Structure 1
Amino acid sequence: MLTSSFVLGAATAHTGINWGDILFQLFIFIVLLALLKKFAWGPLMGIMDEREKHVSNEITAAENSRLEAKKLLEEQRSLLKEARTEAQGLIENAKKQGELQREEIIVVARSEAERMKENAKLEIKQEKEKAVTAIREQVASLSVLIASKVIEKELNAADQDKLITDYIQEAGEER
């Protein structure tokens, strides 16, 4: 009961503004703000600034990496394009070389065939001349032989025909 009358008594006794309590609470609040600023707000702001710098650096690094990757990609595309162009040039050059070699082989083959043809014609001509010469020699020797036989004896027409036939058979056997 004592406590309930104390609370009622305290409630009835304080009907005015208590400036001492207000000043004390204001002083404690200011001290608490100063302590929070020194021990909590300062380090917290330092951490926040540090975090902000870190995030900013990470963003800058990421942007630099992106730019560098873009640059490298462009270089790779350029090199790839250059390599394709060079490969196409090599293929074209190889085709041209192949065509030139093919034409060269055809020209050489044609000239070789023409040379062989000319050699064959020359050889045929020489053999023909040899054969004609051999026939002339045989005809000449036969003519001489016939003339000598005719001179040795005078023949009538039947003997002359028989003599010519014999000599022709003789000449044919010699061959």
Structure 2
Amino acid sequence: MYGLTDNLIVQASGFPFGDAIIQLFFFIILLALLRKFAWGPLMNMMKEREDYISGEIETAEKSREEAARLQREASEELKQTRQDAQKIIEDARQTATKQEKDIIASARNESDRMKESARQEIEQEKEKAVQQLKDQVASMSVMIASKVIEKELSEEDQKQLIEQYVNEQGEER
């Protein structure tokens, strides 16, 4: 009696509750099977993909940071190299200026030394010439005196005698 009224109520409403419960039962089993065999591997694959992409993003970020660091280091090295080159150029300029001054000073010293040497040589030659002239005058005086002693000469004769002696001395040279 209870079963008949239930059947009538089920049929009267037109919805088969028994079929719905069976379908719900199979749907839950299907969900459990999907979860075990499809959803789990799919989620694992999605997780692996997420981990892979996350790793690639981290690697790319690290690479970008490394590239930025290397670029900064290269810029600093280039700046340092430019400073070193500028220092080398400045040192070369200073060295060249110093060498130029040294060469000029050396040339002046050499010029002064040569002038002094030439002046001393001229002075020596001058003294030598003066000494020779004195010697000649002395020997001429002695000769003239000896000639004067030999004969008493008039003023005209003395002039002639001196000219003759000077001519003789000039021919000897």
Normalising TM by the smaller chain, what interval?
Answer: 0.7 to 0.9
Instruction: Provide the C-alpha distance between the structure 1 equivalents of 2:14 and 2:143, rounded to a whole number of angstroms.
Output: 185
Partner of 2:26: 28
The offset of 1:155, in angstroms, is: 2.2
Dislocated runs of 4+, deviation >4 Å: none
Instruction: Provide the C-alpha distance between the structure 1 equivalents of 2:18 and 2:61, rounded to a whole number of angstroms.
Output: 60
The offset of 1:14, in angstroms, is: 9.8
Unpaired runs of 5+ residues, structure 1, are 1-12
Instruction: Provide the C-alpha distance between the structure 2 equivalents of 1:136 and 1:65, rounded to a whole number of angstroms.
Output: 103
Partner of 1:41: 39
Q: 1:18 aligns with which of 16, 19, 28?
A: 16
Deviation string for 1:76-121 (max 9, x for gaps)? 1111111111111111111101111110111111011001000100
Higher relative contact order (CA 8 A, sep 6+): 1
Q: Determine what percentage of the aligned residue pairs are the same residue.
A: 55
Secondary structure of 2:153's match? coil
Partner of 1:161: 159
Instruction: Give the letter aligned to residue 22 of structure 1.
Output: A
The offset of 1:33, in angstroms, is: 1.4
Deviation string for 1:123-171 (max 9, x for gaps)? 0010011011101111111110011011011223443333222112112
- Where in structure 2 are the equivalents of 1:17-96 lying within 5 Å? 17-96=15-94
Instruction: Provide the C-alpha distance between the structure 1 equivalents of 2:160 and 2:98, rounded to a whole number of angstroms.
Output: 72
Normalising by structure 2, what TM-score? 0.87
Deviation string for 1:14-69 (max 9, x for gaps)? 98333332222222222211111111111101111111111111111111111111
Partner of 1:152: 150
Partner of 1:3: none
User: In structure 2, do the counterparts of structure 1 residues 26 and 149 end up closer, same or farther at CA, with 3 Å as the change threshold?
Assistant: same
Instruction: Give the letter aligned to residue 87 of structure 1.
Output: A
Secondary structure of 1:98's match? helix
Aligned residues between the structures: 163
Partner of 1:10: none
Normalising by structure 1, what TM-score? 0.86
Instruction: Provide the C-alpha distance between the structure 2 equivalents of 1:109 and 1:141, rounded to a whole number of angstroms.
Output: 47
Instruction: Give the letter aligned to residue 97 of structure 2.
Output: E
